Amino acid sequence: MKRILVLGSTGSVGKQTLDVLSGLQETHQVVGLSAHTSVDALASQARDVSAEAVCLTGAEATNELRRDIQRLPPGCRLLEGADGLVELVESTQPDVVVCSITGAAGLRSSLAAASSGAVVALANKESLVLAGHLIKEACARSGSVLIPVDSEHSAIAQCLEGQDRNGLRRIILTASGGPFRGWDSAALASVTVEQALKHPSWEMGPRITVDSATLMNKGLEVIEACHLFDVSQDKVDVVVHPQSIVHSMVEYVDGALLAQLSPPDMRLPIRYALGYPARLSSPEGPADLNRLNGLTFESPDRETFRCLSLAERAAREGGLAGTILNAANEIAVEAFLAGRLPFQEIPDVVQDALDTFPSQLDPGLQSILETDAAVRTHSTSILQPSR
């Protein structure tokens, strides 16, 4: 039995992970779960899998569940807060930790997972954007293996497997282009929250859905790819592929392009990470090749979707630039979702932060956390409450 810990189990990736795991009960046992404020969903998941321990990071939510502790299965421990997440990783002795918390809030638990010796199935790309070097150092010390859950990086990892890395010419990340592909700046000026939350091919949490609409998600993925595959930014290209069938490609020096294709469904990269290094069979039948015709590729519009260029700049600068970029973006997206910032001004907030805060190479965790907090305060202060 593999012992599985799912951090962020009430989110989009977390729920799909539990869905995959429900078909693997003979080989995989879910030992722990976490959520921020979704008390009902977490308690119900904990009963379904007979969890040994759960963690809630929201203080009010924890108090609510503590008052009604019998909602958890018998013997299930309730941990609390960011420290509780780390304790959950350290105390449940997992074989695989699925890191599917959203945003920089996932960093400390991802680091704990990387220090645990377990396989780290990493959906939380922000951990790498902020502290890729620390995550990789922790893995090297503990023997943890990092398996990306992002479909693009899962595809790339599969295309790199068993190949001569000296022969790598470039990595090509595919992007759906989001709901506003082909729009110009004037059209983007009137984008509503509802429009931005309607992704053409993926159903995801609100933050990453908006990031997909601005192309910031692809930019974060460029930084993620640089860390995961030890390449510089100039070796990572982005191509828009609206059908989301080719999940990314790798080009070798002899001109060979290797790609991984499948319908857009996160359960494939999740299953790959849960089974690694084995391939687990999927309940879906063979791919319908008729659905794979009409694949198209085009260049991204970096002038209109400036977040992509800003993230590429952060990837080149390295050090704290990823932390600065991500913190400002999280604040800007939160303000957009709350109706306090126009869609088109999200890149302005990010650029302001990158121009204001100096980067620093090889920052330690303390410096990353302090910069994350300082950028959040700064970016919040430049947003007018009346907007």
Q: What are the start-end ranges of the E strands in the chain?
A: 2-7, 28-35, 53-56, 77-80, 96-99, 119-122, 145-148, 168-175, 236-240, 246-252, 257-261
- Widest CA span in the chain: 64
Name the burial class of residue 93, with classes exposed (0-12), middle (13-18) and buried (19+) by CB atoms within 10 angstroms of its CB. Answer: middle
Q: Binding mask 228-267 vs ligand NAP (x if CB under 6 A, - otherwise)?
A: --------------------------------------x-
Q: Is 105 in the site for ligand NAP (CB under 6 A)?
A: yes
Site map for ligand NAP, 181-220, x if CB under 6 A? ---------------------x-xx-xx------------
If binding is defined by CB under 6 A, does position 132 make contact with ligand NAP? no
Please tell me the count of residues contacting ligand NAP according to CB under 6 A: 27
Residues 34-63 that bind ligand NAP (CB under 6 A): 35-38, 57
Taking alpha carbons only, the member of 379, 380, 377 closest to residue 350 is 379
Q: Does 334 bind ligand NAP (CB under 6 A)?
A: no
State the minimum distance, in angstroms, from the CB of residue 373 to ligand NAP: 13
Query: Which pair of structure tokens corresponds to residue 319?
Result: 């050090």
Which residue number, 9 or 144, has a Cβ lying nearer to ligand NAP?
Answer: 9
Which one of 8-16, 134-142, 171-179, 251-259 is the stretch in contact with ligand NAP (CB under 6 A)?
A: 8-16
Residue from 208, 221, 206, 207 nearest 129 by CA? 221
Q: Which is nearer to ligand NAP, 36 or 313 (CB)?
A: 36
In DSSP notation, 101-161 reads --SGGGHHHHHHHHTTTSEEEE--HHHHHHHHHHHHHHHHHHT-EEEE-SHHHHHHHHHHT
Q: Shortest Cβ distance from residue 80 to ligand NAP (Å)?
A: 11
Q: How many other CB atoms are found less than 10 A from the CB of residue 356?
A: 14
Of the ranges 64-72, 119-127, 135-143, 284-292, which one interacts with ligand NAP (CB under 6 A)?
A: 119-127
- Nearest Cα neighbor of 17 from 6, 3, 33, 31 is 6
Which residue number, 38 or 214, has a Cβ lying nearer to ligand NAP?
38
Written as one string, the DSSP assignment of 307-359 is HHHHHHHHHHH-TTHHHHHHHHHHHHHHHHHTTSS-GGGHHHHHHHHHHHSPP
Q: Given the complex with ligand NAP, which of 128 and 240 has the nearer CB atom?
A: 128
> Toward ligand NAP, which CB reaches closer, 38 or 371?
38
CB 251 within 8 A of CB 172: yes
Rounded least distance, CB 203 to ligand NAP, Å: 7
Q: Which of 52, 80, 87, 126 binds ligand NAP (CB under 6 A)?
A: 126
Contact track, ligand NAP, 135-154, x by CB under 6 A: ---------------x----
Binding site for ligand NAP (CB under 6 A): 8-14, 35-38, 57, 100-102, 105, 123-126, 150, 202, 204-205, 207-208, 266
